[in-house]
Amino acid sequence: MPERSGRAGPAMVVAQKYRILATVSLLLFLLDQLTKWLVLRSIAYQEVREVIPHILNVTNVWNRGAAFSLFSEWSAYLFIVISVVAVGFIVYYFSRIDDAQKWVVWGLSFILGGAIGNLLDRARLHHVVDFIDLHFGEHFHWPAFNVADVAITMGVGFLIYDMFKGDRGKRTG
């Protein structure tokens, strides 16, 4: 009978990596789509509802471009193609990473969930629904965003953290 060391073997680590990817990206995708559905159902286009005075509004605006509505005059189909290529690259890169790079696994899982959420909007609606409207008084107003954008930003943050502090980022010396 083989001896058990209590450690997960390589197949277990790989399976866990893909379970994290599937679960996290699916949950973030569903949360993104649910929140957008609620906004589309209950808030008219360009309507603003104050949640926390001078800090947070919920609105319904449509982003036909990239982040912060950049390049909004470009064709919706071009952004769909770019999004599909990005999702493909994320999945490909995920399959090539070291299974033990937990911050990269989580980061790519967050990015994938957000990317698929915004991709579905572009394919279905030809725009992305943004609704979180942050501002601080009259002096600072951030462009509206959504749950998918938060997931992508957090995922990038995890990747940056891994670059400096993660398993690969440890310096010898």
Instruction: Name the residues annotated as catalytic.
Output: 130, 149
| Exposed / middle / buried, residue 3 (Cβ in 10 Å: 0-12, 13-18, 19+) | exposed
Residue with tokens 């394919």: 123
Report the SS3 class of residue 71: coil
Find all residues with CB under 8 Å of 72, minimum gap 6, and list them: 63, 64, 65
167 secondary structure, DSSP code: T
> Residue 132: beta bridge partners?
58, 145
Which amino acid, 33? Answer: Q
- Distance separating alpha carbons of residues 151 and 126, to the nearest angstrom: 21
Residue 124 identity (one-letter amino acid): R
Three-state DSSP state, 47: coil
CB 67 within 8 Å of CB 114: no
Residue 67 token pair: 């982040």
